[in-house]
Amino acid sequence: MFKSRLSWVVVGSVAALSFALIYGCSGAGSAIGVVKNLGGEKSLIRVSLDGQEAKQNTLKKAVAGHSNWDIKDPVDSDNPKLSYKILKPEKMGRITATIVNLFQEFQGDYSTQSEFIVTPKDNAPENLMKENVVYELGKPPAGLRVLDVNGKDVPAVKLIPGKKYMLSLTIKADHSETLNIHFKTK
């Protein structure tokens, strides 16, 4: 319905004005907060798993100021396929490291220990994970290293079917960024 950021700002402004008219200034402050939340800092990265791009719940972000990035449909547990793109490479600058951490759900939250870490074997530019490339984490290319929860090298990522996970992609650059993606396996 509202596809552009400007549309959301207009809708938020109308909502703020309506609150002000109906509830007075204190209600307007809440509505203005919603507009600020929608206009907040946006990620320069977009991540896809198994061809599905992670999305944020715009309404939740407007109200709470934060919304998780989620993958709607379950992801292949044997061979999840990861790709990312950078919306404005000139704002990110020089990339010097790419790291993927996978955290398993633990007691209604996520473990603070990575089930798997996927990183280049070294930080040579040719080994860094590139944007717009699909990486089969169940069959990683030769330049990537996979570590398990104990820090031991393993041949591939193997997730448990039916579990919830959080994938954290960190791109170290002049403007570094980390994006956390919530998903479930099939």
Query: Residues 51-104: pLDDT tens digits?
Result: 999 999 888 788 888 788 999 999 999 999 999 999 999 999 999 999 999 999
Name the band, by pLDDT with cuts 50, 70 and 90, for residue 24: low
Helix (H) or strand (E) run with residue 17 in it: helix 5-23
pLDDT computed for residue 19 by the predictor: 46
Q: What CATH fold (topology level) applies to the domain 45-57+68-184?
A: Phosphatidylethanolamine-binding Protein (3.90.280)
Beta strands in 111-163 (DSSP E): 116-120, 135-136, 144-148, 153-154
Q: Is the pLDDT of residue 105 over 50?
A: yes
Confirm if 38 and 58 have CB atoms less than 8 A apart.
yes
> What is residue 125's DSSP assignment?
G
**How far does Cα 166 stand from its chain's mean position?**
9
- Mean pLDDT score, 138-155: 97
Q: Is the pLDDT of residue 37 over 80?
A: no
* Those residues with Cβ within 8 angstroms of residue 121's Cβ, 6 or more apart along the chain or in another chain: 127, 143, 144, 145
pLDDT computed for residue 28 by the predictor: 45
User: If we measure between CA atoms, which residue out of 151, 180, 169 comes closest to residue 95?
Assistant: 169
Give the span between the Cα atoms of 134 and 119, in whole angstroms. 15
42: tokens are 């946006």
For the chain, what is the mean pLDDT?
A: 85
Give the relative orientation of helices 25-38 and 5-23 as an angle to the nearest 10 degrees. 170
Q: Where are the domains of the chain?
A: 5-38, 45-57+68-184
Name the band, by pLDDT with cuts 50, 70 and 90, for residue 36: very low
Q: Is the pLDDT of residue 124 over 60?
A: yes
pLDDT computed for residue 5 by the predictor: 54
Name the band, by pLDDT with cuts 50, 70 and 90, for residue 171: very high
- Which of 95 and 37 is assigned the larger pLDDT? 95
Q: Is the pLDDT of residue 18 over 70?
A: no
> At 127, is the secondary structure helix, strand, or coil?
helix
